Amino acid sequence: MQYLVNVLDGGAIGDEQTSGRATEAEMAAIDTFNNQLRRDGHWVFAAGLAAPEQATVIDNRGNAGLVTDGPYMQTREFVAGIWIWDAPDADVAVRLAEKASKACNRRLEIRPVL
């Protein structure tokens, strides 16, 4: 089964605010984690995302033709990146997410891909 992993940024860790690009140490830890995902056969895809301010929302339901600059929702936290993993079950995905959260120093949300 595949899992979408959203990397959440902008939230506080204790008194420390995480936001913006990963530090050099975080990037090194993420690279190490990604290499392990590849070796273990869990890797499908990963990407960082531009800041929410660079988003565009399109709503053409009912031919409305609405195009709005900026994120669809204003919030302190935002999705800063994604992974897609192959994992045999949710327990394995959660264990991988625990390691990934530590590596990138961010909260994660995982969801099965239907």
- As a CATH number, domain 2-50+77-112 is 3.30.70.1060
User: In degrees rounded to 5, what are phi and psi of residue 68?
Assistant: -125, 130
Q: What is the pTM of this model?
A: 0.86
* Residues in CB range of 58: below 8 A, 6 or more apart: 66, 67
Enumerate helices (H) and strands (E) in the chain, giving the number of each: 2, 8
48-87 tens-digit pLDDT? 998 888 999 999 999 999 999 988 888 888 999 999 999 9
Pairwise CA distance, residues 6 & 17, whole Å: 18
